[in-house]
Amino acid sequence: MSVPFTDLAAQQHEVDEEVMPRLRAALASGAFIGGPEVEAFEREYAAYAGSDHCVGMGNGTDALEGALRAIGVGPGAEVILPANTFIATAEAVVRAGATPVLVDVDERTLLIDPAAVEAAAGPLTRAVIAVHLYGQLAPVELLTPIARRFGAVVVEDAAQSHGARRLGGVSGSLGRIAATSFYPGKNLGAAGDGGAVTTDDPELARRVRMIGSHGSERKYEHEVLGFNSRLDAVQAIVLSAKLKRLEDWNARRRAVASVYDALLHDLEDVVLPVTAEGNEHVWHLYVVRVPDRERVAADLAAAGISTGIHYPVPLHRSPALAGSLMRVSDCPVTDAAASEILSLPVFPHMTAHQIVLVVEALRMAFGRPLGADSLDRARALEGTGRP
């Protein structure tokens, strides 16, 4: 038996009954881009993310570029972001015409390190991107005063953190403006590409919507040069149905993570992920650190376990960015992590049996098999009544 990295078919199955009639009605109505379903989802997601406004976009990268441009980031500006993130975070900065400034991450959480931000900030800094990586929130409350001192603001990259909370605040409501992705594999995923910007500021929301609609609010009146990036009704319907289950699905991800924690913590060679104090993690990814990572990943693959690496090449070593204007601080933590990190499968519909298969395979890779009662222990530990 094999264990996939995620199971999107199971998610769709759970929402099928709600989605299909709404899809049929939307397709019959001809409201494909924008329209009542998109407007309804924007209201639902704004409420969920604790923000006054939500603007649906075509994907997360466009959402981030739109958010950056809306706050005035452009040529001549510097934007600080962690070197350990998906390349899209930097793409959005470069596409907005600004200069990415790459800084290192915290050793325990692998999230952007406020001390590194402080050291890298300067008079050209316009924004600091708090990337909420792997499903937990970066310390926005520490980043905001640093940014403010330099006349900059915090922009959240909330692509991996739908529903995550920190010190009472929810992902997407903590910075001046936030961008998220609804790529199918995210905690809240569409049936294709999708994204959104959330903010409390009506003028920023207006600007993002205008930028993502060819720089125009009224047909053929183009205020600025924008681009085309809008959420469509099909995605809005799927997202609306899945949003109702997101809290439950995030709780199921947390249960998987707690079983991994309990059944792996005695392996001295495996560094388990750390949840920062004050954070409620939503486990988009469960990222361990192991020595001899390629061998361990191969052992897991041979046992039928899918894994991932998020991310194998730090941004300052990416050939795609080599030609871009960029400022890079020393990133020893990011560099060391890149060769050790390994993402284990974690998804809401994972069975107890699948969790144990992953644990068993990882333990076997270090010659430390599990006890015979492991499946019963896993079922007792995770407490959701999984098969």
Please state the φ and ψ torsions of residue 289, each to the nearest 5 degrees. Answer: -120, 130
The yes or no reply on residue 226 touching ligand PLP (CB under 6 A) is no
List the one residue from 60, 135, 172, 189 that touches ligand PLP (CB under 6 A).
60
Q: Which stretch binds ligand PLP (CB under 6 A): 47-55, 59-67, 93-101, 323-331?
A: 59-67
The residue (of 86 and 249) whose beta carbon lies closer to ligand PLP is 86
Nearer to ligand PLP, 326 or 356 (CB): 326
By DSSP bridging, strand 165-166 and strand 279-280 are antiparallel
Which DSSP category does 1 fall into?
-
The residue among 341 and 361 lying less far from ligand PLP, judged by its C-beta, is 341
Going by C-alpha positions, the residue among 6, 61, 82, 10 that lies closest to residue 343 is 6
Which structure tokens are listed for 68?
């950056």
Judged by beta carbon, residue 159 or residue 270, the one nearer ligand PLP is 159
Quote the CA–CA distance of 151 and 31 in Å, as a whole number.
42
Closest to ligand PLP by CB, 160 or 307: 160
Sign of CA dihedral 347, 351, 356, 361: negative
132 or 209, CB closer to ligand PLP?
132
- Compute the least distance from the CB of residue 386 to ligand PLP, in Å: 27
| Cβ atoms 150, 166 nearer than 8 A | no
Closest contact distance (angstroms) between CB of 334 and ligand PLP is: 14
For the CB of residue 61, give the shortest distance to ligand PLP in the complex, in Å: 3
Distance CA(220)–CA(246), nearest Å, equals 39
Is 66 exposed, middle or buried, given 0-12, 13-18 or 19+ CB atoms closer than 10 A? buried
Q: Give min distance, CB of 376 to ligand PLP, in A.
A: 36
Fill in the amino acid letter for 23. L
DSSP conformation class of 308: B
Is the CB of 69 or the CB of 363 nearer to ligand PLP?
69
Contact present, 361 and 300 (Cβ < 8 Å): yes
Binding mask 79-118 for ligand PLP (x = CB under 6 A): ------xx-xx-----------------------------
| In the complex, minimum distance from the CB of residue 161 to ligand PLP, in angstroms, rounded to a whole number | 9
Binding-site member from 189, 195, 345, 348 for ligand PLP (CB under 6 A) = 195
Residue 316 corresponds to which tokens in the numbers above?
A: 């300052």
Q: Which is nearer to ligand PLP, 160 or 374 (CB)?
A: 160
The encoded tokens of residue 2 equal 């094999």
Question: By CB under 6 A, is residue 61 in contact with ligand PLP?
Answer: yes
Number of residues that bind ligand PLP (CB under 6 A): 15
> How many other CB atoms sit within 10 Å of the CB of residue 310?
18
Find the angle CA(156)-CA(231)-CA(71) to the nearest 5 degrees. Answer: 35
Comparing CB distances to ligand PLP, the nearer of 19 and 179 is 179
Query: Which of 114, 132, 107, 162 minimizes the C-alpha distance to 274?
Result: 107
3-class secondary-structure state, position 149 = helix
Which 3 state secondary structure label does DSSP give 101?
strand
The stretch near ligand PLP (CB under 6 A) out of 44-52, 56-64, 106-114, 168-176 is 56-64
Which residue minimizes CB distance to ligand PLP? 60
CA distance 195 to 145: 28
Sole window of 54-62, 246-254, 289-297, 340-348 interacting with ligand PLP (rule: CB under 6 A):
54-62
Q: Which of 41, 150, 183, 260 binds ligand PLP (CB under 6 A)?
A: 183
Gyration radius of the chain's alpha carbons: 21
Going residue by residue from 117 to 156, which x/- string records binding to ligand PLP, judged by CB under 6 A? --------------x-------------------------
Note the residues at the interface with ligand PLP (CB under 6 A).
Answer: 59-61, 85-86, 88-89, 131, 157, 159-160, 181, 183, 193, 195
